[in-house]
Amino acid sequence: MRLLHRARGTETTAPAPAAPSGPLALVIGGGISGLVAARELVMSGHRVALHEAQGHFGGCVTEHQVAGLSLDAGAESFATRSTAVAQLLGELGLGEDIVTPEPGGAWLYLKRGHDNVAQPLPATGILGIPGDPWADEVRTAVGRSGALRAAADLITPVSKKILEGEMSLGALVRSRMGSAVLENLVTPVVSGVHSADPDTLDVDAIAPGLRAAVLKHGSLAKAVAAKRAAAPAGSAVASVRGGMNRLTTALIADLRAAGVELKTNSRIAAIAPGENSTGFRVTLGESAAHSEAGTALQVDRVVVATGGELAVELLSGIDQAFTEHRPSTGAGISLVTLVLDKPELDDAPRGTGLLVSPSVDNIGAKALTHATAKWQWLGDESGPGTHVLRLSYGRLNDRASALVNADDRTLRDAALKDASALLGMVISAEDLLGFDVIRYSGALPFATTGHARRVAQIRAIAATHPGLDVVGAWLSGTGLAAVVGDTRKKLRITVS
C-alpha cells in the first residue's frame, strides 16, 4: 500500500488510501521504533492502533524552541554505517534534505599531567580506535610510548580464539592496543556517545563484525581502517535539514494518512493471552486523556515498543519467562542547550564540538556539540554571531554524574562554566539569548557484555507466541540506524 508522503512545506496531492481492513494490530509505545513498526504493519495490510503513554510521539526524536529557534531536543543525527535511516527518509519525502556535518570535525578534551588539553579527534578511527596508530594526532593524544604500544597491534598475531565467548569493547582494545589508547581515545568517545564504560559494553553490540574483521585483517588497526574504507562516502553521521525531529513529524503524517489510530496519553496496563488462546487481550490503564481505564481490547497482533523495564513488565503478563530478562536501568542524561550572542565563536575554535575524557575532573559535561558549526542549515538560520551549543550531562565519574539531577538554573550555570573551559573563552550569562534543559531518565540502555545472547533469548520466547513482536533500543542498541534497521527487519510481515 502506498502511503501519503510529506516533505517540509509540501504535501503530495495523491488521495489518502482507505484504512486497511485486515487483522487488528496494537503497537505499545510511540517512539521511533513504535512509529516505524506501525508503518510496517499498515503497509502489510493490518488495521493499526498505536498507544503512547506520554503526551507526544517520537521519544527522544522531538523538537523544542529556544530563543526563537526550532532545535532537536534529543537525537540530532544518525549513523550512516547502514542505509536504514536514509532509505526511510527517502520514502517519507525527506531524502533530498539529508545533510552531512561541516568538515571541522570533533575534538577531545584530555587530562595531561596537572593540565587539561584540547586536540582534534583522530580522523581515521571508529569509536576512537585509531586506524593508524602512528598518526600525529594519535601520538599527541596517547604519547610516544602509548603510540608504540598501539602500533604493536600491527605485528602481533591474531588467534582464532578472538571470536570465542563474549568480550567487552574495552577488553578488545586493551589487549590489542593498550591502556593509553583505551583511556585517552576510546573511553571519551564511548562515554560521550553511550554514557558507559567500554569495559562494560559488548563489542559485538557496539561494533558488529569488528572481532571478525580483526581476525580477517590481522590487526585491530587494519580492521578499523578497512571498515572506514568500506563505509559510505562522506561523514559517518548525517541529519536532516531542519533537524531530525522532522522524521517524527513525517512518520506521524504518513500514519495518519494511512488510517492508523494514534493515541497519546494512553497507557497500557497489561497484556495477556487472548480468548481461546487467540491473539491478545490488552487492558488500558488510567490516563488523563481518556476515561477507558480497565477497558480490555482483543487484538490479533501486539508490538511492544517501549523501554526495556516496562516492556518486560507487560510481556510477563503473556509469559513469565520474560521476567528474568528485565534490563538494568540505563544512565540518566540531561541536555543543556545554550543559544548565545557570541561572534567570537564564528570561527568554530573547537570544530563541531568536544568529547570529554572521564579523567578530567573540573568539567561536568561529558560532551559539547557546537551545533551551528556542525550543521550549515542551523548556522544559516541563526545568522552570524548567534551560536547554539548543546552540553550533555551524565558523566562516568561520581562527582560529575551528580550534576545530571541538578535543577535547571544550576545546570545552566554549569554549562556556561564548562563551555568556557572547553572552548577556551569566557562565556557568561550576558551572552545568553536563551537556554533549555531536556532530561531523559534511563535514556541510554547499556549493551553490556552478553547483549546478543540476551536479545536472542528474549526473541526466542517471543517467537513462541504468534503475533507478538518486541522492538526498541534496549534490544537493537542505541542510535537511529540500529533502531530503524532492526524494527523494519522484525516487522516485515505479509498478511494472507
For residue 229, pLDDT over 90 is answered with: no
Superfamily of domain 6-14+21-60+242-328+447-490 in CATH is FAD/NAD(P)-binding domain (3.50.50.60)
Global pTM? 0.89
pLDDT digit string, tens, across residues 98-138: 999 998 889 999 988 888 999 998 887 889 999 999 999 99
* 279 closest CA partner among 46, 50, 466, 20: 466
- 16 secondary structure, DSSP code: P
**pLDDT tens-digit map of 55-71:** 999 999 999 999 999 99
Distances (CA, A) of 443 to 334, 387, 405: 10, 26, 14
Domain residue extents for the chain: 6-14+21-60+242-328+447-490, 121-234, 331-444
Q: Which of 118, 110, 73, 75 is nearest to 351 (CA)?
A: 118
d(CA 176, CA 211): 11
Rounded Cα–Cα distance for residues 50 and 156 (Å): 53
pLDDT tens track for 365-391: 999 999 999 999 999 999 999 999 999
pLDDT in tens, 286-332: 764 555 667 889 999 999 999 999 999 999 999 999 999 988 776 67
What span, in angstroms and rounded, lies between the C-alpha atoms of 388 and 470?
A: 37
CATH number attached to the domain at 331-444? 3.90.660.20
* CB environment 355-365: b (16+ within 10 A), e (fewer): bbbbebeebbb
Backbone angles phi, psi at 24, to 5 degrees: -90, 125
- Give the bridge partners for 390, in sequence order: 337, 369
The pLDDT value recorded for residue 8 is 37
Q: Is residue 423 very low, low, confident or very high in pLDDT (cuts 50, 70, 90)?
A: very high
Q: Check: CATH 1.10.3110.10 for 121-234?
A: yes
